[in-house]
């Protein structure tokens, strides 16, 4: 399984769109891996996690054929993760010769209602026929082609069933763990009962190398504690890889800083364009 981190920033991006703080100014000057677009993950070449405002920029930067994507998993309804307006253009007269005829879109009930509301006023019949929108709930397992996907409850926004996803294919297992704060034991107990063994975890690290504790995001010290809990519940392997991503500009760190500090904790800091295979 190939995991591509197309975007690795929190909601405001790095440099942030309206910000002239020292970190954002430095990121503009340094460029390269210090510039981060809003978070989006591509599994292999056919499964996307979230669809941010920067999705079209990802198409251009990485030369991706988004018409080849078969599945989109939405984590929650915040606009840096759920910006579905591009779906309007998935059909004539805006697009022709799509690689895949049908795009299946999954998310909680808040997300699926929002997607339909936001695109309905412009969605032409031809585009509508190319998409299936499916609501999923926490602890629901479903098949998407040869993927087995389990939606798990995130600790993020009250009043919405925000989700993280466990994705399995060909004996490999990936846990996408953002946006979320610290999870209750019940989530890990569920995975332990199923005897899950995770090969790669990508953690929400919005707060950099802080310890947040309770909240809707995490820092790297929280990530380290979550890793210990995963080990305690026996749901990871000795060689499991741990990536940190979804950074805010308020971390006040360059990519070089993140790399040095992450190495000391046994984490891989994601950058836009990072690809990891498991």
Rounded average pLDDT over 189-212: 96
Q: What own/partner pairs with CB < 8 Å and gap ≥ 24 does 18-22 have? A: 19/249, 21/249, 22/252
Determine the pLDDT at residue 229.
98
* Residue whose entry in the numeric block shows the structure tokens 């510039």: 35
Q: Average pLDDT for residues 52-66, to the nearest whole number?
A: 97
- Please say if the pLDDT value at position 214 is more than 80: no
Q: Is the pLDDT of residue 264 over 80?
A: yes
CA nearest 162: which of 132, 136, 127?
136
Q: What value does the mean pLDDT take over residues 247-266?
A: 95
CATH assignment at residue 104: 3.60.15.10
Please give the mean pLDDT across all residues of the chain. Answer: 96
Band (pLDDT 50/70/90 cuts) for residue 188 is very high
* Cα–Cα separations (whole angstroms), residue 106 to 11, 49, 116, 144, 245: 21, 10, 12, 10, 22
**What is the per-residue pLDDT for 247?**
97
Question: Would the CA dihedral through 247, 248, 250, 254 be positive or negative?
Answer: positive
Say yes or no to pLDDT of 49 above 90: yes
pLDDT at 120 over 80: yes
Using a pLDDT cut of 90, give the percent of the chain over it.
94
What is the C-alpha to C-alpha distance for residues 183 and 99, in angstroms, rounded to an integer?
38
Number of domains comprising the chain = 1
Query: Domain limits at 73?
Result: 2-277
pTM recorded for the entire structure = 0.96
Please tell me the predicted confidence (pLDDT) of residue 186: 98
What distance in Å separates the CA atoms of residue 265 and residue 85, rounded to the nearest whole number?
39
- Average pLDDT of 86-103? 94
Summarised one tens digit per residue, pLDDT across range 1-39 is 999 999 999 999 999 999 999 999 999 999 999 999 999
- How far is it, in rounded angstroms, from Cα 278 to Cα 148? 16
């Amino acid at each position: 399984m190939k995991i591509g981190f197309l975007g690795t920033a929190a909601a405001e991006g790095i440099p942030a769109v309206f910000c002239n703080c020292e970190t954002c100014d430095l990121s503009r000057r340094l460029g390269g891996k210090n510039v981060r677009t809003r978070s989006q993950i591509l599994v292999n070449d056919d499964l996307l996690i979230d669809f941010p405002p920067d999705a079209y920029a990802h198409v251009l930067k990485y030369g991706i054929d988004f018409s080849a994507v078969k599945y989109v998993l939405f984590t929650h309804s915040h606009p840096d993760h759920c910006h579905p307006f591009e779906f309007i253009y998935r059909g004539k007269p805006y697009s022709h010769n799509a690689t895949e005829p049908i795009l299946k879109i999954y998310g909680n009930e808040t997300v699926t209602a929002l997607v339909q509301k936001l695109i309905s006023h412009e969605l032409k019949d031809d585009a509508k026929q190319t998409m299936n929108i499916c609501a999923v709930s926490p602890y629901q397992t479903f098949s998407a082609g040869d993927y087995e996907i389990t939606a798990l409850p995130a600790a993020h926004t009250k009043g919405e069933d925000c989700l993280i996803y466990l994705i399995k294919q060909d004996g490999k297992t990936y846990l996408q763990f953002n946006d979320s704060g610290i999870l209750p034991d019940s989530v890990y107990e569920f995975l332990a009962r199923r005897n899950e063994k995770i090969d790669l975890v990508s953690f929400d690290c919005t707060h950099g190398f802080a310890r947040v504790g309770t909240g809707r995001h995490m820092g790297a010290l929280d990530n380290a504690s979550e890793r210990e809990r995963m080990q305690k519940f026996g749901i990871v392997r000795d060689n499991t890889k741990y990536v940190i991503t979804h950074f805010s500009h308020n971390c006040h760190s360059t990519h070089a800083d993140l790399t040095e500090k992450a190495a000391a904790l046994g984490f891989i800091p994601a950058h836009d364009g990072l690809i990891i295979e498991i």
